[in-house]
Amino acid sequence: MDDLEDDLAEFHWMMDMLQTVDVGIVVVNTDFQIRVWNAFMESHSGLLPSQVRDRNLFHLFPEIDEKWLRNKCRPVFELKNRAFITWEQRPYIYKFPNYRPITGTEDFMFQNVTLSPLTGATGNVDHMCMMIYDVTDVAANKKRAEAVEVTLNELKEKTGHGRK
- pLDDT tens, N- to C-terminus, the chain (164 residues): 688 898 888 888 988 888 889 999 999 999 999 999 999 999 999 999 999 999 999 999 999 999 999 999 999 999 999 999 999 999 999 999 987 766 667 889 999 999 999 998 898 999 999 999 999 988 888 888 888 999 888 888 888 876 55
Rounded distance, CA 55 to CA 58, Å? 9
- Write down the pLDDT at residue 17: 86
Question: Computed from CA positions of residues 39, 40, 41, 43, in that sequence, does the dihedral angle turn out positive or negative?
Answer: positive
CA 50 to chain centre: 20
pLDDT in the model for residue 94: 95
Residue type, 39: A
* 73 and 128 Cβ atoms separated by less than 8 Å: yes
Per-residue pLDDT at 107: 87
pLDDT at residue 69 in the model: 97
Residue 29 has what pLDDT?
Answer: 97
